[in-house]
Structure 1
């Protein structure tokens, strides 16, 4: 898609200028004009389809304009007009409308800017001329950054690695539109968690990233920086916790309006409240949701010292993660599967140098963590313990399941030991009732790990307040650097396997309707076809329903690994797959997060499209390792709601830079 507005036909008079204008826009228009639902639950601002009106602005308009009718037009005011119109290529009428200037005067001044080389003219068939900044001419050869301060968006084409690293410190990558276009959004939480000791340091980072100052954006960022430093929790000299505010006004108008006797005992002064024991996490969450993140300065347990050396070199981005964590002692490492979050966490353990508790969703992950800690650090096996249904050892480094750590009869074992670091693996679970009971273990240092801290119930805010802010590298950067392979995703719309199921689907309702489509027997044939088309691949086939899993496994004559599979049998099958003694497994949703699946270069999702976006990330991620050629096929029954589920579940992966294709399967082609 080019830079020209949707209602402007392609230029016909100057072929070379046409190529420059359209090629230079590659990636940018898509990045700015997406009007779909944002996968993180935000609404994105899109390009407005205004008519190419060559007349001046409506004199009756009540919109506020930037200047007088005879005001000067500079390159800066042209950029302001672009901001107001939501596009970088404008007609004279659009400039006049945006700035509320007379059309004739605008045309003259645009000619003057063009004569000076600041703007370029481009003739098109439906309007005498459109205008765009001359800097767009160089778009194919160099990085270009366009800031939309009112929407707090930054669009970058051809971004350099330095720019992306700087932007990651204060902005969220909302869209990776192919190889060239990136759309960043500066959200309040991005400013709140910026890794800087002062606003002046953050301001320098912004100007380095953007190449210049932007007063409007900087003013808003400054306001958010101030909000993030209005409240703090600290430990009183008598040992209890105090909530302190910067001023009596913010304490009275915010904290004392939002908190009640469940959270605080009584005021100590105009700016201080005595916090009830155990209410700290709730206070942090409530004030965070009110737009006032709380700085945590409590004298929390630091644990016994433990000398840990990391015996593997960290990649540059992993070292950046550890450095970011070291600055505040809390945070969540966010990156795709295969990006080395576990090894980076061991780097954080080495930095802290204290006894460590690692919480995981299952005993399989506990075992794998214990093996990894011994393999990648200087610790001896006797220093590493597991605490779950199979083993109960508390050691200097202890790996426990969330369920065990949250049980009353086991909790004192963990409370009695002071931990220098608590690691929450798969921390997207933390807000759930079962898992959050373990978050009372508020050590001085808290670290979370997650490929995708997205929750369908929108409770990810609780993750950040209970554990810490996200720390990560955009996925596209890891793909570009070759650290993680970028899998190709293809949604395949499969016909019904038999008329009986199709008729049952038509007459069914609700979840039953969805399940019939998910278990379409036509998918068994499609799985067999895809495996035969990739005969040398190591493959994983994912299902959501046990009956379907058994059916596919029987048809392929391979094991089906599910929650019913005995622990030792599950471990044996996975080890055989890792050692290349087995090249195919059928796996239920137990493989989504509860176990660390071995790497595959082919994944087929036969069912599970009604699941979460996080589930789609996990399953696609089973092919993400430093090796190319990985494929993910997602099967959806043609003409059913599965089509919508497939697009929705994988939409945010496409926004992270992955290639997502769609194909309708014709059974005659595969016969």
Structure 2
């Protein structure tokens, strides 16, 4: 193909071949406010289709005007070749003794590298391309790092840190070694064996941290016969002792199932599935709207064995049935539900955690040879009533969670009982355009009158919190916001039933709570999905799992004293692949709610979501 010189220093094709000039590329960088671009973003800023944009960018790479980097969440990102020197676009500071890495203006490529072995602790305020990011390397991050060899992990660490940090690398190497000291295997005679890498480990770590009934008998100086009923307890105890157990048991996959996907996966979803299949265990972590359920269905298809899906509620069980029918070719007779009044075991069975953990039903679930168990809303697992289901045997274990965070700090226990985290950071999905970032605003609402303020001032403890949460002035603010955005479907979240009933009456909308019968909840949620209902007032039953798509407005009237996970879930109800969304968090001015609001929304800010603060008019 003949080419000619361009006036911006690169070669451009003649004829009708797609082209992107460097001037157009720099304009697109400014429009996107980030240092690297995907073909999709170039297509948005030009008249090219995405395939043509990719072809034009590849040609610029051949001309050495652009450079290309492969990234976990995108097929590739592009940036000017003159930016190849990392110091020109980002600054990395390593605090080896604290095992912390601070990155100023990190590229998507750098964040993707860091996510393999480090935990994102915090981000500074500001635009995405000007933020500072604080990462910490924890024990569990090294244990779960997706590398076959230690040298590959160290190489990735050095590539980010631009050199060697001996103390940090020694610590990482030690943690890597600890993660490969214990193994569960199946003996040729069918029973389970715990193997230790050294005799001293069996003599000290095992004796100090396992109960007498966890092991049946010693086999050798480094092997012991395991009580199979105690496998989950053994894994938890050794994990807490700093020795994660590699589970290499030969488990059956049950009866095979033939399932074909009817939905194409995004690139990062395919990577999630591939990573899971390599490990046979893991937790898909991503914001609402990132397609964790679809990726899980693709995992079911890839495993191809009998599957048990555990969920926290009957509503979510019904939603899973719908998703399976929508995204795969499973017939209705292949999908069973085991909860409440319906108890049917099928090739794919959906059950609630409570039912699966009850003594009356455990024998049925224990007797099955599950090829895969899916734990939806996986952050429930550490709770005692739910953790009993973690001892069910399966060849593969998959968790799903937008926010595997518990206020006890025991999120690592989720990874102990299920598997390591798999997923991209939220910023990556926002910037790639897979999930639209919501606009979050903390709105401070004044007291309606002096009497309400005085009642708060004279109250104590929990009463003060509830008075602030139920500030009657919030009802007027909810009404005002619904009027301002009368073209959007809206969810209003409340903590207290009395407040929910009062707001629902004031705005003439249904109130959905735990007291609402299941059939009525299902009818109202369906009406909301179909657009027959524009507004719903929802208690905690709407925090998790229930799919309420196209909610363009979310108003959190109360509930800020709950967990970080709850705040994220409520904001996340508006996160979807397309369309902008607004989240208003109402907090009573001059009360402890102000502190709660800032603290809970800070958790979202650390995930890259911009949070602003305003005051409602008096």
What's the TM-score bracket when you normalise by the shorter of the two chains? 0.7 to 0.9
Residue segments in structure 1 that go unaligned for 5+ positions in a row: 1-25, 28-134
Aligned to 1:179: 128
> SS where residue 420 of structure 1 aligns?
strand
For residues 217-616 of structure 1, what are the structure 2 equivalents within 5 Å?
A: 217-593=168-544, 595-616=546-567
> SS where residue 111 of structure 2 aligns?
helix
Aligned to 2:70: none
CA contact (8 A) 2:334 2:346 kept: yes
> SS where residue 598 of structure 1 aligns?
coil
Report the alpha carbon displacement of residue 409 of structure 1 after superposing the two structures with TM.
Answer: 1.8
Distance 1:353 1:472 in 2: 22
Distance 1:401 1:388 in 2: 6
Distance 2:343 2:218 in 1: 43
Distance 2:95 2:579 in 1: 36
After the TM superposition, which of the residue ranges 287-296 and 237-246 deviates more from structure 2? Answer: 237-246
CA contact (8 A) 2:366 2:393 kept: no
- In 2 relative to 1, CA 145–451 (structure 1 residues): closer, same or farther, beyond 3 Å? same
Aligned to 2:611: 660
> SS where residue 150 of structure 1 aligns?
helix
- In 2 relative to 1, CA 245–138 (structure 1 residues): closer, same or farther, beyond 3 Å? closer
CA contact (8 A) 1:574 1:598 kept: no
Aligned to 1:142: 89
One of 152, 162, 167 as aligned partner of 2:99? 152
TM score, norm. by length of structure 1: 0.76
One of 167, 183, 204 as aligned partner of 2:114? 167
Distance 1:137 1:460 in 2: 37
CA contact (8 A) 2:490 2:553 kept: yes
After the TM superposition, which of the residue ranges 540-549 and 371-380 deviates more from structure 2? Answer: 371-380
Distance 2:320 2:511 in 1: 24
Q: What are the superposed Cα offsets for residues 328-349 of structure 1, whole Å, 9 maximum, x if unpaired?
A: 1001011111110001111211
CA contact (8 A) 2:439 2:582 kept: yes
Aligned to 2:17: none
Distance 1:614 1:388 in 2: 26
Aligned to 1:206: 157
CA contact (8 A) 1:330 1:445 kept: yes
Distance 2:366 2:226 in 1: 20
Q: What are the superposed Cα offsets for residues 135-179 of structure 1, whole Å, 9 maximum, x if unpaired?
A: 999889524433332222223344333333222221222234341
Distance 1:371 1:628 in 2: 23
Distance 2:412 2:103 in 1: 28
Q: What are the superposed Cα offsets for residues 452-497 of structure 1, whole Å, 9 maximum, x if unpaired?
A: 0111122223211111111111000011011111112111111112
Report the alpha carbon displacement of residue 301 of structure 1 after superposing the two structures with TM.
Answer: 2.9
Cα RMSD after superposing both structures: 2.2
Report the alpha carbon displacement of residue 595 of structure 1 after superposing the two structures with TM.
Answer: 2.4
> SS where residue 532 of structure 1 aligns?
helix
After the TM superposition, which of the residue ranges 602-611 and 300-309 deviates more from structure 2? Answer: 300-309
Report the alpha carbon displacement of residue 594 of structure 1 after superposing the two structures with TM.
Answer: 5.2
Distance 2:341 2:428 in 1: 40
CA contact (8 A) 1:245 1:271 kept: yes
Distance 2:352 2:275 in 1: 27
CA contact (8 A) 1:486 1:628 kept: no
Report the alpha carbon displacement of residue 209 of structure 1 after superposing the two structures with TM.
Answer: 4.1
CA contact (8 A) 1:491 1:660 kept: yes
Q: What are the superposed Cα offsets for residues 548-594 of structure 1, whole Å, 9 maximum, x if unpaired?
A: 01110111011111112222221222112112222111111111115
Distance 1:643 1:139 in 2: 40
Q: What are the superposed Cα offsets for residues 605-627 of structure 1, whole Å, 9 maximum, x if unpaired?
A: 00001111000010000111123
Residue segments in structure 2 that go unaligned for 5+ positions in a row: 1-32, 35-81
> SS where residue 387 of structure 1 aligns?
strand
Q: What are the superposed Cα offsets for residues 266-317 of structure 1, whole Å, 9 maximum, x if unpaired?
A: 3322212222231111111111111111111112232222122222111111
- In 2 relative to 1, CA 394–639 (structure 1 residues): closer, same or farther, beyond 3 Å? same
Distance 1:137 1:502 in 2: 59
Aligned to 2:141: 190
> SS where residue 229 of structure 2 aligns?
coil
Which protein has the larger Cα radius of gyration, Structure 1 or Structure 2? Answer: 1
CA contact (8 A) 1:310 1:376 kept: yes
